[in-house]
Amino acid sequence: MLKVTIFPVAIGSLCNIMFHKYKFFENVRQIMPGVAVIGFTLIVGGVISVHGSIFLTSGLVIFVCIFFHNALGYILGYFAAKFFGMNTAKKINLSIEVGAQNAGLATGLCGKFFLTCAEAAIASAVSCVWHSISGTILANLFLTLDKKQEQRSEQKVNSEA
């Protein structure tokens, strides 16, 4: 957990604190999402290459479980933020954070501690991909809704004037 989660977050935070004023660091920050996608691809590809036959036989059941677990996380995250009176931006953030759990860490842990349970590693690997896709879709949906709400507000102000 230290290598996969704590160290990268700590290093990223320190770099942001120390280098946020420098132009080169802005360029580094722009390429990091691509580096993350490549990392996820390597993790998922490794798991599927080792356990591909099991994925073909139980992949649909695994994906359905992942889909509902992920959707429930988005919903519970949003309503938990609403329950505590958070603003819209925080509701959206918490929804995505809760829904898109750290599947990369789960994949690494499964590969280390659950070697005899291939389904666990496959489920974690598929989660990596699905959480990235669904999180992107949800973020874009929230962005679209926010833009429409802004347009309605502008139209209301213009019609009152």
Domain residues of the chain, as ranges?
A: 47-151
Quick one: average pLDDT of 106-125? 75
Given a cut of 70, whether residue 136 has pLDDT beyond it is: yes
Given a cut of 90, whether residue 160 has pLDDT beyond it is: no
* 7-21, 34-48, 107-121: the lowest-pLDDT one: 107-121
Whole-angstrom distance, CA of residue 67 vs CA of residue 39: 22
E strand or H helix at 161: none
Q: What is the pTM of this model?
A: 0.67
Residue 46: predicted pLDDT: 81
Q: Which structure tokens are listed for 79?
A: 């309503």
CA distances (Å), origin 80, targets 30, 73, 91, 135: 31, 10, 8, 18
Query: If phi over 0 gives left and psi between -120 and 50 gives alpha, with beta otherwise, what is residue 21?
Result: alpha
Per-residue pLDDT of 76-91, as tens digits, reads 999 999 999 999 889 9
Whole-angstrom distance, CA of residue 44 vs CA of residue 125: 5
What is the distance between the terminal CA atoms of the chain, rounded to a whole angstrom?
57
Residue 4: predicted pLDDT: 67
Per-residue pLDDT of 30-58, as tens digits, reads 898 888 778 877 877 887 787 777 777 77
